[in-house]
Amino acid sequence: MLRYLSTRLVRALLTICFVVTFAFVILRLSGDPALLILSPDAPPEAIEAFRRSWGLDRPVWEQYFHYFAAVAEGNLGRSMRDGRPAIDLVLERVPATLALTIPAFILKVGIGIPAGIYAALHRNKLADRLTMLFSVAGFTVPSFVLGLVLVLIFSVNLGWLPSGGQDSWIHGILPVITLGTAGAAVLARFTRSAMLEVLGQPYIRTASAKGLPWHRVVVDHALPNAAIPTVTIVGFMVGSLVAGAVVVESVFSWPGVGRLLVIAVANRDLAVVQTILLFVAATMVCANLTVDMLYGWIDPRLRTRRVAGAG
DSSP assignment string, 11-60: HHHHHHHHHHHHHHHHHHHS--HHHHHH-TTS-HHHHHHHHHHTTTTS-H
Is the pLDDT score of 300 beyond 60? no
Instruction: Give the percent of the chain with pLDDT over 90.
Output: 0
Does residue 292 or residue 121 have the better pLDDT?
121
Average pLDDT over every residue of 12-38:
77
Closest CA to 145 of 96, 182, 98, 90: 182
Q: Is the pLDDT of residue 295 over 80?
A: no
Q: Give the count of alpha carbons within 13 A of 25, CB side only.
A: 6
SS3 state at 168: coil
pTM, 2 dp = 0.76
